[in-house]
């Protein structure tokens, strides 16, 4: 009534298929790295480059915003520090890297 079931042998592997299957298994990893590079790493490098150019271009009497939100006019500048005038006769010493934005002239009254 019930017929016997016999296991069938697997088809013989074609030579060189191991290389193709290993490349196909690495493909998602390579694609994720490429997407990560274009979505995260490249834009961050571009922002760092723009920030460095902005900090190098700072000059006396530029109006700036610091990372703490202080607005002021650069009174004096050195290699690593700036003197930021935040009021009449009030000058604060800051590191150059604290500047996050240069404002257009006349923004601070």
Decide which of 102 and 12 is more confident: 102
Please state, as a whole number, how many other Cβ atoms lie within 10 Å of the Cβ of residue 54: 15
Domain boundaries, the chain: 16-57, 59-103
Q: What pLDDT digit, counting tens, does each position of 26-70 carry?
A: 899 999 999 999 999 999 999 999 999 999 999 999 999 999 999
Q: Binning pLDDT at 50, 70 and 90, where does residue 16 land?
A: low
Whole-model pTM over 0.85? no
pLDDT, mean of residues 84-104 = 94
pLDDT at 14: 55
**Residues sharing a CB contact under 8 Å with residue 109, sequence separation 6 or more, in sequence order:** none
pLDDT at 2: 78
pLDDT, mean of residues 87-94 = 94
> What whole-number percentage of the chain has pLDDT above 90?
71
Tokens representing 31?
């694609």
| Number of residues written out for the chain | 109
């Amino acid at each position: 009534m019930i017929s016997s079931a016999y296991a069938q042998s697997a088809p013989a592997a074609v030579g060189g298929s191991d290389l193709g299957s290993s490349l196909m298994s690495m493909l998602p990893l390579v694609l994720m790295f490429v997407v990560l590079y274009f979505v995260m790493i490249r834009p961050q490098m571009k922002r760092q480059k723009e920030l460095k150019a902005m900090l190098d271009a700072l000059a006396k009497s530029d109006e700036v915003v610091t990372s703490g939100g202080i607005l002021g006019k650069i009174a004096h500048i050195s290699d690593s520090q700036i003197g930021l005038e935040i009021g009449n006769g009030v000058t604060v010493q800051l590191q150059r890297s604290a500047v996050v934005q240069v404002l257009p002239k006349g923004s601070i009254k």
